[in-house]
Amino acid sequence: MTKLRRISNLQHEFSFLNSSENFDVYFNGFLSSDLGKIYTAIPWDALVEIFKIKESIKGTKNYFSPRGKLALMFLKHYACCSDKRLIEQLNANIDYQFFCDIHLGHHRLTNYKIVSQIRCELASSLAINEVEKVLFSHWSSYINNQNSITTDATCYESEVRYPTDQKLLWESVQWSHQQLKTICKELKLKLPRTKYLKWKKRYISYSKMRRKTTKKRTPLTRALLHLLQKTNNELDALERNFNFEMSDLYYKRRTIIKKLHNQQNQLFTTGEKPKNRIVSIHKDYLRPIVRGKEIKAVEPALPAGRFGAKVNKLQIDGINFIQKISFDNFNEGTQFKNTIYKAQGLSRTKVKIVGADAIYATNKNRVFATSNKIQTDFKPKGRPSKHHKQQKQLKALITKERATRLEGSFGKEKEHYHLKKIKAKTKATEILWIFFGIHTANCLEIGRRMHKQSLEKVA
């Protein structure tokens, strides 16, 4: 065993990688760790090719190689930390540097925004179905029972402030009033009169109330709708009468706020719930995803919903794949056929057993399963068959597999792979965040199977 020494007792400089012999020792130690198992489970060259990552010939050389860019995304979900903390740990952790194909030596990375830049770059070229085919073909020999699958849906929530009507209106008023001030200052015009300061004080008083009664809520909502309409009219007049250039983000946000005003006005005056309801002016693609099953409405009341991407997943021998991901609420029961087709496309094997929730047990899905000789754990209709006892035992085993392994993976990914609250800022980067979170968990599971198999061969 190597003797351990304290760094404070050393009076000379040292390097972790001062010789090829030391490199092999450290690298073999890295491969035996959980992070090393993830490293061995990833088909790096195939992923680089399918993501179309190329090194720029002109200009300054990038810190990270094409492989290193992908590794940084996997590492974020393994480390389960912020972008800034990830770069800090990368500077200090030799295993993280091995994983990301980089050796910093005495240098230190200080630009933590490089993580979000790489995330945006990869998000633009993500093709989930193609990447998952590459991953499955690489992992195929470590996945057993490929003719048996389970499926279910879950919501990966975005990190967004809880969107009450009053908060949304006040955020819109704040943003619009700030733009009005900026434009008037640039054009050297007098700021139009509004009651912004008056309602700012009243909104702050309202937000501090412990019980926000209807008596307090109604006049505030009416005033904010009126104030937002007035501010929008002033901005429209400035855009018509003066020739000035603003960013694309400005015009996009203005469109979102106008749509939100119309929706809130409709809700306030008629009580009719609008379609495609906006719940965030910063993330206009988010929609309420309701807890519960198909018998409940999509938006019974805003407080009952979650806000993020709904994902219908299929699992083959404990390894998860994305069948459908959408920010709009959808009934996962309609995805039964597509789930089976995707599983057969990945494994090139006919599916014979499917475990699914009661929401999937529609008449159409039952007919499809029966006609294709697929055994399910759906509750049977009509009279019991001759073999109902054996069928009941099989259904219980399928249900147990789905309820423990598949639904357990939802919690594991959210708690341990940074999917509890998605902190990405755009629709594309949120999808990429979820994709890498799910497949980081898969890579660790496959890596452990690879390691176990290699030990059995040696033994």
Q: H/E/C letters for each residue in 375-421? A: EECCCCCCCCCCCHHHHHHHHHHHHHHHHHHHHHHHHHHHHHCCCCC
Mapped onto helix, strand or coil, the DSSP state of residue 95 is: helix
In sequence order, what are the residues at sequence separation of 6 or more whose Cβ sits closer than 8 angstroms to the Cβ of residue 195? 223, 227
Among candidate residues 100, 123, 146, the one where a domain is terminated: 123
* CA 279 – CA 281 distance, rounded (Å): 7
158 - beta bridge partners? Answer: 422
Same domain, 156 and 117: no
Residue 279 belongs to a domain: no
Other Cβ atoms less than 10 A from the Cβ of 311: the count is 23
Other Cβ atoms less than 10 A from the Cβ of 283: the count is 21
Residue 276 belongs to a domain: no
* CA 417 – CA 409 distance, rounded (Å): 11
Same domain, 144 and 246: no
Q: Are 118 and 64 in contact (CB under 8 A)?
A: yes
Same domain, 138 and 259: no
Same domain, 106 and 230: no
Residue 292 belongs to a domain: no
Same domain, 321 and 446: yes
Q: Are 316 and 346 in contact (CB under 8 A)?
A: yes
- Token pair recorded at residue 2: 């190597």
pLDDT, position 4: 60
pLDDT, position 120: 94
Same domain, 313 and 424: yes
Same domain, 100 and 65: yes
Query: Which runs of consecutive H residues, i.e. helices, occur in 208-335?
Result: 214-241, 248-270
Residue 296 belongs to a domain: no
DSSP 422: B
Q: Are 273 and 299 in contact (CB under 8 A)?
A: yes
At 203, phi and psi to the nearest 5? -70, -40
Here the CATH number for the domain that contains residue 335 is 3.30.420
Same domain, 170 and 253: yes
In sequence order, what are the residues at sequence separation of 6 or more whose Cβ sits closer than 8 angstroms to the Cβ of residue 115? 72, 76, 83, 86, 87
* CA 33 – CA 95 distance, rounded (Å): 9
DSSP 308: E
Same domain, 315 and 453: yes
Same domain, 450 and 399: yes
H or E, element range at 45: helix 44-50
Cα dihedral 347→348→350→353 (10° resolution): 0
Q: Give the burial string for 312-326 (b: 16+ CB within 10 Å, else e).
A: bbbbbbbbbbbbbbe
The total number of structural domains that make up the chain: 3
pTM above 0.85, yes or no: yes
Among candidate residues 270, 295, 324, the one where a domain is terminated: 270
Same domain, 323 and 411: yes
H or E, element range at 196: helix 196-207
Domain encompassing residue 322: 128-160+309-458
Q: Give the burial string for 270-280 (b: 16+ CB within 10 Å, else e).
A: eeeebeebbbb
In sign, the C-alpha dihedral spanning 218, 219, 220, 223 is positive
Going residue by residue through the chain, which has 459 residues, state the pLDDT in tens, using 9 for 90 and above: 456 656 555 555 545 555 555 777 788 888 889 999 999 999 999 999 999 988 877 766 788 889 999 999 999 999 999 999 999 999 988 899 989 988 887 888 999 999 999 999 999 999 999 999 999 999 999 999 999 999 999 999 999 988 899 999 999 999 999 999 999 999 999 999 989 999 999 999 999 999 999 999 999 999 999 999 999 999 999 999 988 888 999 999 999 999 999 999 999 999 888 888 999 999 999 988 876 554 444 443 444 468 999 999 999 999 999 999 999 988 999 999 999 999 999 999 999 999 998 899 999 999 999 999 999 988 888 777 777 777 788 788 888 888 888 889 999 999 999 999 999 999 999 999 999 999 999 999 999 999 998 888 876
At 36, phi and psi to the nearest 5? -65, -35
State how far the alpha carbon of 97 is from the alpha carbons of 35, 55, 286, 446, in Å.
11, 19, 36, 22
Residue 141 belongs to a domain: yes
422 - beta bridge partners? Answer: 158
Residue 289 belongs to a domain: no
Same domain, 112 and 133: no
DSSP 143-191: ---TTEEEEEEEEEEB------HHHHHHHHHHHHHHHHHHHHHHHT-PP
* CA 401 – CA 407 distance, rounded (Å): 9
Among candidate residues 254, 270, 286, the one where a domain is terminated: 270
pLDDT, position 147: 92
Residue 281 belongs to a domain: no
Residue 419 belongs to a domain: yes
In sequence order, what are the residues at sequence separation of 6 or more whose Cβ sits closer than 8 angstroms to the Cβ of residue 9? none
pLDDT, position 27: 81
At 259, phi and psi to the nearest 5? -65, -45
In sign, the C-alpha dihedral spanning 94, 98, 102, 105 is positive
